[in-house]
């Protein structure tokens, strides 16, 4: 009787356990996606901060009386960035999840800090190998040294394919993660790297799979020197994604995540990297055409930070859209809740985390740590790895290159479309370096002036190579060519058309132009003069730009023809020579660009009649 009772109890326990086991197998599975973008080889803290509204303080619009009286009200500057601190932030997020994956939306390399760039961005990839990046979409700056050198960097090896020698610090083994390039098409029709990737979590009925697509913005051919692309072209972003989604679904992807190197901007007043007010930019028309089977879009390129429920802008496209700014200053924590029984995403949320790093000094004072935001310690192995490269670059960075009579700035940084005194100084240097080629005018593209957007000389007026490199990291060469006055005007007008963001090219000394943004597109440059003499539309002029612009970069297509072109030296060598020639070099003070209606909304073109 005792044996029969025991068997009865065992059967009862078994009967009770079966539903519990079944219920457990059907529970939703949570996956964390840890995302960055636009790292740009920022090995060390970039001495920049993330501006944001202080926690717990009411967010007041710019036009409130209080913000007019005190524009800093409720806003704090959080020092951020640095690879070792980013590693710790990523580790802290991984600790939240049983299942996680780390991804990047491009420009991991290129336009990098000197300690990374001097060594062909091997340490930028090395850092990501150590942090545990698993997928990276190819961005436009991945092509800065050419498609073949990019492939070497990814696959490994020490073949010299650029001006600098590879493998100076370590035998380069390549990336431990795939680069994805679904719309980067080689001359033979194949893609430069794989188009998609998959990662699965769990087993059996509990198994869930994420599918990833990597996309480069199609304007990359406008943003990169043609010789660097080596025949690579860029297909339409939305068409490329939509063609790949069914294949990922057929391979078992429960969620589709797009890593795209294109982005948008939000209303910066008040600054808030955690929300999505008034989203604008080239990402929107792409999203409006995407398959609704895409669940999350991790974006980049604009260096802007946001977290968006895109369904608020287009209810038919309820994507979760994110961007983590630039230089590893933020990291995005994305949570997906997936039903393994129906292969559906039940919920998706995201938040940006500021990667707070040490305080630093600026010309306006100390940017202190903010206790209201998470604090991170540098991860020891990454810090040690970075130190190897920064020590090797130290002598080069600290080398004095000349003297400057005072600070020069690109006011407003990334948000500015004017070059200020820094843009003028660079243009003057490029003109001086190319007078032997007949140059009369030089122009510097404002968006080519990088963070920290300033050169501040030391107490003895000295400027170091590291300071020059920080604002001109692209290793462009100079090109002098002939334009008629009419073509010169057409070139300047391209800075104010609808193809790329508005950009006032910085001209060299003696040249002046005026712009009226209330006029129709193509007719906004209302005056041009050289040394006080109006530009003659029929006359030839010798114009110098960097090779990026001369190859049609930033959509300045007028320059592509390169009539009577003469190739010069590098842009950074020109700036160094200019500073050395007259110590200290005076700060250029003349007014060279007149914006007749600052802040005006550009007049839209008249609609074409229907045909």
Per-residue pLDDT of 489-500, as tens digits, reads 999 999 999 888
Residue 304 lies in a domain: yes
What's the number of domains the chain is made of?
A: 2
pLDDT confidence bin for 23, thresholds 50/70/90: low
Is there a contact between 56 and 343 (Cβ–Cβ < 8 Å)? no
Same-domain status, 304 and 423: no
Instruction: Please state, in angstroms and as integers, the Cα–Cα distance from residue 157 to each residue in 43, 216, 389, following that order.
Output: 22, 25, 18
- pLDDT, residue 227, reads 83
- pLDDT, residue 270, reads 82
Q: Name which of 415, 599, 603 is nearest 498 in CA terms.
A: 603
Listed range (72-76, 112-116, 515-519, 597-601) with the worst mean pLDDT: 72-76
Whether the predicted pLDDT of 2 surpasses 60: no
- Tokens of residue 582, six digits: 């007259």
Last residue of a domain, one of 353, 385, 417: 385
Same-domain status, 298 and 415: no
Whether the predicted pLDDT of 5 surpasses 90: no
Report the CATH number at residue 512. Answer: 3.90.780.10
Q: What is the pLDDT of residues 244-301, one digit of tens each?
A: 999 999 999 999 999 999 999 998 888 899 999 999 999 999 999 999 999 999 999 9
Q: Name which of 589, 575, 585, 577 is nearest 461 in CA terms.
A: 585
Is there a contact between 572 and 475 (Cβ–Cβ < 8 Å)? yes
pLDDT confidence bin for 1, thresholds 50/70/90: very low
Same-domain status, 428 and 339: no
Same-domain status, 276 and 183: yes
Same-domain status, 355 and 427: no
Domain span including residue 136: 31-51+62-385
Last residue of a domain, one of 360, 385, 410: 385
- pLDDT, residue 264, reads 94
- pLDDT, residue 607, reads 35
Residue 393 lies in a domain: no
Listed range (71-75, 164-168, 222-226, 403-407) with the worst mean pLDDT: 71-75
Instruction: Please state, in angstroms and as integers, the Cα–Cα distance from residue 81 to each residue in 86, 134, 207, 326, 436, following that order.
Output: 7, 20, 35, 9, 43
- pLDDT, residue 224, reads 84
The tokens 């209810």 sit on which residue? 315
Q: What is the mean pLDDT of residues 361-383?
A: 92
Phi, psi of 149 (to 5 degrees): -65, -35
Listed range (143-157, 217-231, 311-325, 425-439) with the worst mean pLDDT: 217-231
Report the CATH number at residue 329. Answer: 3.60.21.10
Residue 70 lies in a domain: yes
Last residue of a domain, one of 340, 356, 385: 385
Is there a contact between 146 and 230 (Cβ–Cβ < 8 Å)? yes
The tokens 């009772």 sit on which residue? 5
Strand partners, 351: 333
Residues 236-256 as b/e (b if ≥16 CB within 10 A, e otherwise) read: ebbebbbbbbeebbeeebbbb
Q: What is the mean pLDDT of residues 544-573?
A: 90
Contacts of 515 (CB under 8 A, 6+ apart): 496, 504, 524, 525, 526, 593, 594, 595, 596
Same-domain status, 282 and 141: yes
Q: Name which of 236, 138, 133 is nearest 180 in CA terms.
A: 138
Same-domain status, 314 and 187: yes
Same-domain status, 414 and 457: yes
Average pLDDT, the chain: 90
Q: Name which of 589, 550, 592, 552 is nearest 571 in CA terms.
A: 550
pLDDT confidence bin for 359, thresholds 50/70/90: very high
Element housing 32 (H / E): strand 29-36
Instruction: Please state, in angstroms and as integers, the Cα–Cα distance from residue 85 to each residue in 325, 357, 455, following that order.
Output: 16, 6, 26
Phi, psi of 463 (to 5 degrees): -125, 140
Same-domain status, 368 and 437: no
Coil, strand or helix at 157: coil
Same-domain status, 405 and 348: no
pLDDT confidence bin for 56, thresholds 50/70/90: low
Q: Please give the Cα distance from 368 to 608 (Å, whole number).
A: 54
- pLDDT, residue 282, reads 94
Residue 8 lies in a domain: no
Element housing 91 (H / E): helix 83-94
Residue 19 lies in a domain: no
Element housing 125 (H / E): helix 122-131
Number of residues that this document lists for the chain: 611
């Amino acid at each position: 009787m005792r044996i029969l009772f025991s068997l009865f109890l065992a059967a009862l326990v078994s009967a009770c356990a079966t539903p519990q086991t079944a219920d457990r197998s059907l529970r939703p599975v949570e996956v964390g996606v840890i995302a960055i973008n636009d790292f740009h080889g920022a090995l060390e803290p970039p001495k920049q901060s993330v501006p944001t509204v202080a926690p717990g303080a009411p967010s007041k619009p710019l036009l409130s009386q209080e913000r007019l009286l005190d524009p800093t009200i409720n806003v704090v500057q959080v020092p951020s960035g640095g690879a070792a601190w980013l590693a710790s932030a990523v580790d802290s997020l991984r600790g939240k999840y049983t299942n996680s994956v780390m991804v990047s939306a491009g420009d991991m390399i290129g336009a990098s800090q000197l300690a990374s760039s001097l060594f062909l961005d091997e340490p930028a990839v090395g850092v990501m190998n150590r942090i545990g990046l698993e997928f990276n979409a190819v961005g436009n700056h991945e092509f800065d040294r050419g498609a073949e050198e990019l492939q070497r960097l990814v696959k490994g090896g020490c073949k010299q394919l650029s001006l600098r020698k590879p493998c100076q610090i370590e035998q380069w083994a390549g990336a431990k993660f795939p680069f994805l390039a679904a719309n980067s098409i080689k001359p033979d029709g194949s893609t430069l790297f794989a188009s998609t990737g998959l990662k699965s979590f769990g087993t059996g009925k509990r198994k869930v799979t994420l599918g990833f697509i990597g996309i480069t913005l199609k304007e990359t051919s406008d943003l990169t020197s043609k010789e660097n692309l080596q025949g690579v072209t860029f297909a339409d972003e939305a068409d490329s994604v939509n063609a790949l989604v069914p294949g990922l679904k057929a391979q078992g992807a429960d969620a589709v995540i797009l890593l795209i190197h294109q982005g948008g901007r939000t209303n910066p007043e008040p600054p808030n990297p955690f929300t999505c007010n008034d989203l604008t930019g080239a990402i929107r028309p792409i999203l409006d055409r995407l398959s609704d089977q895409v669940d999350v879009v991790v974006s980049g390129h604009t260096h802007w930070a946001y977290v968006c429920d895109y369904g608020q802008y287009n209810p038919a496209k309820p994507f979760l859209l994110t961007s983590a700014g630039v230089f590893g200053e933020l990291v995005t924590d994305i949570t997906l809740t997936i039903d393994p029984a129906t292969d559906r995403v039940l919920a998706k949320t995201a938040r940006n985390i500021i990667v707070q790093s040490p305080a630093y000094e600026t010309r306006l004072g100390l940017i202190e740590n903010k206790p209201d935001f998470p604090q991170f310690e540098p991860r020891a192995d990454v810090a040690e790895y970075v130190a190897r490269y920064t020590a090797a670059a130290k002598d080069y960075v600290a080398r004095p290159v000349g003297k400057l009579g005072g600070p020069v700035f690109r006011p407003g940084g990334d948000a500015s479309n004017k070059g200020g005194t820094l843009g003028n100084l660079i243009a003057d240097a490029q003109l001086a370096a190319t007078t032997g080629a007949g140059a009369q005018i030089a122009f510097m593209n404002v968006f080519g002036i990088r963070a920290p957007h300033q050169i501040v000389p030391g107490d003895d007026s000295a400027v170091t190579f590291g300071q020059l490199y920080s604002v001109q990291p692209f290793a462009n060469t100079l090109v002098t060519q002939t334009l008629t006055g009419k073509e010169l005007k057409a070139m300047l007008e391209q800075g104010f058309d609808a193809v790329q963001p508005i950009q006032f090219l910085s001209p060299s000394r003696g040249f002046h132009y005026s712009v009226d943004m209330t006029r129709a597109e193509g007719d906004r440059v209302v005056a041009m003069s050289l040394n006080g003499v109006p530009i003659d539309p029929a006359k030839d002029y010798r114009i110098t730009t960097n090779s990026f612009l001369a190859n049609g970069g930033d959509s300045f297509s007028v320059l592509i023809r390169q009539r009577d072109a003469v190739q010069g030296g590098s842009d950074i060598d020109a700036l160094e020579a200019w500073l050395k020639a007259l110590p200290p070099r005076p700060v250029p003070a003349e007014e060279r660009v007149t914006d007749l209606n600052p802040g005006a909304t550009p007049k839209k073109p008249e609609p074409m009649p229907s045909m």
